[in-house]
């Protein structure tokens, strides 16, 4: 069920015969308008059995620490988002870089930073059927050292193996997202040029 705030796609990995649901989000600035987005996510989560990742600009923070400057945080809109994340059984997948992903472009006292962009995933995404077995098979090591060094070697080995396993299992996910974004932009440009093309299933 797509809306003007989210687009949901089903991806299929031909090499593993696995399906995955991806929801791309661009939320409204207004709290009341975002309720439509939360409702659509509740509906998606109600019968979700596949790996599900939800990412994009949610236009709202989760914690007060995710905003610097500007007016005080409106707790009601924060609670709306928190409730949606919890009810949909999603968790933040994390990322590297600054804790803020948006800046209002102003300086000094008028400067405002927020974390509005994030990726969330459900339990199925993080606990693939083969995941625990991969960890078990690759946790052993022949290194003879103190406990700290041994643990460090195990982690490095496991990190490399899981990275390879993830790409083989799910494919190059972020490249797939980039490709999908390009397709969406192309469809939008085609529609703006000629609205009669809106119902075409593929680009010519």
Q: What is the DSSP string of the chain?
A: ---SSEEEEEEEETTTTEEEEEEEEE--SSHHHHHHHHHHHHHHHHT--SEEEEEEE-SS-SSGGGEESSSPP-HHHHHHHHHHHHHTTEEE---SS-S--EE-S--GGG--EE--EEEEEEHHHHS-TTHHHHHHHHS-----S-HHHHHHHHHHHHHHHHHHHHHHHH-SHHHHHHHHHHHHHHHHHHHHH-GGGGG-SS--
- Read off the pLDDT of residues 115-170 as tens digits, 9 standing for 90 and up: 999 989 898 877 766 766 777 777 766 666 666 666 667 767 777 777 777 777 76
pLDDT value at position 199? Answer: 41
- Read off the pLDDT of residues 25-70 as tens digits, 9 standing for 90 and up: 999 999 999 999 999 999 999 999 998 989 889 999 999 999 999 9
- Which superfamily is assigned to 1-127 in CATH? Endonuclease/exonuclease/phosphatase (3.60.10.10)
Q: Would you list the domain boundaries of the chain? A: 1-127
pLDDT value at position 197? Answer: 46
Question: Model's pTM, two decimal places?
Answer: 0.65
């Amino acid at each position: 069920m797509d809306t003007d705030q989210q687009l949901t796609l089903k991806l299929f990995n031909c090499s593993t015969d696995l399906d995955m649901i991806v929801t791309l989000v661009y939320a409204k600035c207004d709290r009341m308008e975002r309720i439509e987005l939360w409702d659509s996510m509740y509906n998606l989560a109600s019968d979700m059995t596949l790996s599900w990742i939800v990412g994009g600009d949610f236009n709202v923070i989760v914690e007060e620490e995710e905003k610097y400057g500007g007016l005080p945080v409106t707790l009601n809109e924060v609670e709306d988002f928190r409730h949606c994340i919890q009810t949909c059984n999603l968790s933040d997948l994390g990322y590297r870089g600054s804790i803020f992903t948006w800046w209002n472009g102003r300086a000094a006292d008028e400067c405002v930073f927020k974390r509005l962009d994030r990726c969330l995933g459900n339990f199925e995404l993080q606990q693939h059927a083969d995941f625990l077995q991969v960890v078990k098979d690759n946790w052993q090591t022949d290194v003879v050292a103190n406990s700290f060094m041994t643990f460090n070697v195990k982690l490095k080995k496991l990190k490399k193996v899981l990275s390879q396993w993830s790409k083989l299992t799910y494919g190059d996910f972020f490249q797939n997202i980039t490709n999908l974004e390009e397709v969406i932009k192309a469809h939008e440009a085609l529609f703006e040029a000629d609205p009669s093309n809106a119902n075409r299933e593929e680009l010519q």
